[in-house]
Amino acid sequence: MHGTDIRLARLFDDESGRSLITAYDHGQSFPLGARSGSPRRTLEQIVAGGPEGVLLTPGMLAQHADLFARRGAPSVVLRADWTLLDEPDKHELGERYRVLVDPAEAVALGADAIVMYLIARPTDGGMFADNVAAVARAAQQASRAGIPLIVETTLWGLRNEDRKDPERLATVSRIAAEIGAHAIKTEYVGDPEVQRGIVETVGDIPVLTLGGARGDDDAVITAAQGAIDGGASGLIFGRNIWMADDVVGTTQRLSAVTHGRVR
């Protein structure tokens, strides 16, 4: 067992074997604007909810490192890359992808895991090829640095009509697994049995599902439960947690679903 395995195992609850990670890496790509308020206040609530991990960017980690510098604090999951997420910008400027931080830098920043995108079916084939190569390279570097790489597989490329197409999500998730992902973050496709097919095809690594745009509370819980029923090892939810009126309560409800303490 190597550092990568030790750190990956620590992301998951010892009893349930599952993990709830709150994502708060949106400000790097989304237009938050001048009324979004202090990130510290938001992060304090996220941490108070008690998820197993928090996904955030290098700058937010550096600014708020004190929130994570205590025994029992959530694991730090670092966003290591960047893509253009704003739809009008993507159409006007072309799709774009860049790596921002390498695994050794992530370890130096205090991170316990890193997340990188693998964005299927962009209009520019060079971007996909570069993305595949960047993730593969990072997987080797992460193994050397002793930190796990979670690959976020999406159908955000502009050639996709259905961003939850199970066949295409399975294919891109398998590609991520083949090139070295230590875990997968992907969409919940809406059907536990179909989701199970995705979970199986990536092999012996955990799959966590993402929350996406803010939805209705019941729908969010249903999706979370469906993902767990479909074999997911956890959730990485963002806007459905930190944009909620009650961040702590929402985290706790999703945590209960994640760890099977509901129904």
Q: Which of residues 199-228 bind its own copies (CB under 8 A)?
A: 200-201, 203-205
Q: Does 162 bind its own copies (CB under 8 A)?
A: no
Of 44-52, 67-75, 194-202, 254-262: span binding its own copies (CB under 8 A): 194-202
The alpha carbon of residue 99 and the mean position of all alpha carbons in its chain are separated, in whole angstroms, by 16
Q: Does 87 bind its own copies (CB under 8 A)?
A: no
Mark residue 190 as left, alpha or beta (left: phi above 0; alpha: psi -120 to 50; beta: remaining). left
Please select the residue that binds its own copies; options are 17, 31, 110, 249, rule is CB under 8 A.
31
Nearest to 136 by CA among 111, 109, 118, 122: 118
Q: How far is the CB of 37 from its own copies (least distance, A)?
A: 6
Cβ atoms < 10 Å from Cβ of 14: 7
Q: Does 62 bind its own copies (CB under 8 A)?
A: yes
Contact partners, residue 55, CB within 8 Å, separation at least 6: 21, 22, 23, 24, 25, 77, 78, 79, 115, 236, 238
d(CA 243, CA 257): 19
Q: Does 246 bind its own copies (CB under 8 A)?
A: no
Nearest to 110 by CA among 154, 168, 68, 142: 68
Q: How far is the CB of 89 from its own copies (least distance, A)?
A: 7
Q: Does 163 bind its own copies (CB under 8 A)?
A: no
The binding track of 32-61 with respect to its own copies, each residue x by CB under 8 A or -, is xxxxxxxxx----------------xxxx-
Q: How far is the CB of 133 from its own copies (least distance, A)?
A: 4
